[in-house]
Structure 1
Amino acid sequence: KTGTVQIFSSFTSFENILSELMEHHVICYDVEKDLFPLVLSNCQYSLERGHETISEYDLPRIQQQILTHFLQGKPLITRAGIPVLVNTQERDYDTIFKTVCGKVPQIPLSSLAQNTVSRELDSYSEVCAALKIVELLLGFLSLTSGDPTMKLVTYLQDVLKMDQNIDHHILKAFGKCTLGHCVCLWKVLSSLRSENMLRLKRVSLAFAGKSFSNRNVDQWLIEIHEVLLLGLGCLRATEDWNPSWSLKQAVSVYMRHKDVPPYMKEDFPENLQLSQIVETWKYAITAKQEWMMEG
């Protein structure tokens, strides 16, 4: 059966053959880039002493903005005749990283390159867009291979032919990166995305722990974010990790096969538990922001 599209307006309604569908007919959005900021911008937080933070959402306004930004003027598309691709499982980044490393040897990003990425991508939407590009790169590299010394921007331009569709800020942020940096770049960007999300949510923190030096905090945030995302975020996390474990011990175990600076294992307060890792991560971000404001 041929799929059809019904387009309704205040004046007419008509049907289009599925083959005549254009890109602008389809609702296109990114949850983290488009929906999260919209929802969070219509959220009010209140905090009372001795109580948890209370979130209040302006649901009518959120609904109106979704209608205006994404649904207005779009046709009603029936599913008949449309081939459907369903992704039944989450991406296993740990496996993807191992596959990529086997085909394209990976090395850490220098502090200078990390600072360039952070400086150039100064908005949440840009970080999300950059992360999507790196995820696409990882997908290609896991299926093919590549020269680890090739400039990442060159690969995007000459191999994937994507440079015309990429914001110049993102290309500039990738300027010091090669294909051998893709895994590390993904970790840096995913950590930056979470930092931006934390700022968007305006989370109030009340955590008193050992402070980290300004010199070490950027790398510390990236490594701890990896533990949160890939270690504690996996399906077997509740079986493999005990929240009562020492945070220092748990992180040391996770990083036992990694080449990390000594301070990653040494600069941990002894009295923290694994269950406090999220608050510890938030505290470090807050400390970093304060240092940046102080200059």
Structure 2
Amino acid sequence: MSELFVPAAGVRPLPIIRRHILISDGMLLLHSEGLLHRQLPVAEAQVAASHYLGELGGDPCGVHFLASQPDVSGCSWRGLRGLLGQVSELEFSLAGRAVQVINWDLDHRFCGRCGAPTDYYGNERARCCTGCHLTVYPRISPCVIMLVTRGEECLLARHTHHKHGLFTALAGFIEAGESAEEALAREVREEVGLQVGATRYVGSQPWPFPGQLMLGYLADWAGGDVSPDVEEISEAAWFRFDQLPEIPPPETLSGQLIRNFAAQCASRKP
């Protein structure tokens, strides 16, 4: 996919949707060529809610929530995590956006403050309480993901609760009142017992598990020995750039941080 996607914060009433994403029970409907459907493959009566996502190649793109999963000829229902590496980076980004919008819509049908029903709020991506008028937007949780480096080595870890068992960069949520850099230093200290020095921001990535914005950093090791928090980290160690274990795919920010570090080290070799 080479088309440019132009995201939208929310438009009501919806424009005429020309590219469709279908979600039911957290699963997405795929056809033989990918995620996006040029025509709605189910009856309109089966659609419980629809949201405009933006324009893809000039075509309005939307997501539709179905209360049940119908059998659709030539299609299959797939979980979001199973799409990673199986569809294009653009399609995965759209899938993550679609899932987060639907989850927000379903989770806030009633007000968390007074319990009254909520309704859509103007043209914005928001729901407003019909009782106390609390307005709720999709919640994004900021996180830091950091590759700690020491010369030609980087610190990689396997997380206790992750089933895939890959070695990856450290990561953690930013707490209330923290800067990203403060969260970075705290997470590294808590998870592996190290101190960090200079940090360099690299880039960000939305991560829809369940709704994070990952802020990626490189961080210089400043002291300490690796001492993993066994509740969070099953294994952590230093790895030379040319002796890396199995790491996350390049579609992930963690995979990009590690691969870019290795490429930079390799480029300095004679």
TM-score after normalising by structure 2: 0.28
Question: Whose radius of gyration is greater, 1 or 2?
Answer: 1
> Would you tell me which structure has more helix in proportion to its own residues?
1
> Would you tell me which structure has more strand in proportion to its own residues?
2
